[in-house]
Amino acid sequence: MTAVQIDERVAAQFGNTATQLVQVTREALSNVARHAQATTCRVSLVQRDGGAVLEIDDDGRGFKPGRGTSRGQGLRNMRERVEAIGGTFSVESASGEGTTVRVILPL
């Protein structure tokens, strides 16, 4: 199951950078589909603490970020896209605990 919560007022503020956010979301969802073995995934874009917060989280098997065992470039590409538009990117995950990809952008 996928749950989506998008604040349209927040989404409308991104103009040209919306493409980058769509690509980050697409890559994160692709990772969930390929690796997480999740039963639930949630995508949200909300305003919080004066900024926009995009989160993609799942209840899948999780992983240990920073282990360097992945051959893929997905997390690095997402980070680079977010930093290029002035945001911060983080990944929280633990084995058996799911994963949260978080993007914070100034409004």
Domains belonging to the chain, first-starting first, are 2-106 (3.30.565.10)
Tens digits of residue pLDDT in 23-44? 999 999 999 999 999 999 999 9
pLDDT value for 72: 67
pTM for the predicted model, two decimal places: 0.91
- pLDDT (0 to 100) of residue 71: 58
H or E segment and range at residue 75: helix 74-84
Select from 11, 100, 99, 101 the least CA-distant residue to 52. 11
Q: State how far the Cα of 90 lies from the Cα of 46, in Å rounded to an integer.
A: 16
CB-count burial class (<10 Å; 0-12, 13-18, 19+) for 99: buried
Helix (H, G, I), strand (E, B) or coil at 70: coil
Q: Nearest-CA neighbor of 100 among 81, 83, 78, 84?
A: 78
From residue 84, alpha-carbon distances to 20, 41, 42, 67, 80 in Å are 9, 26, 25, 24, 6
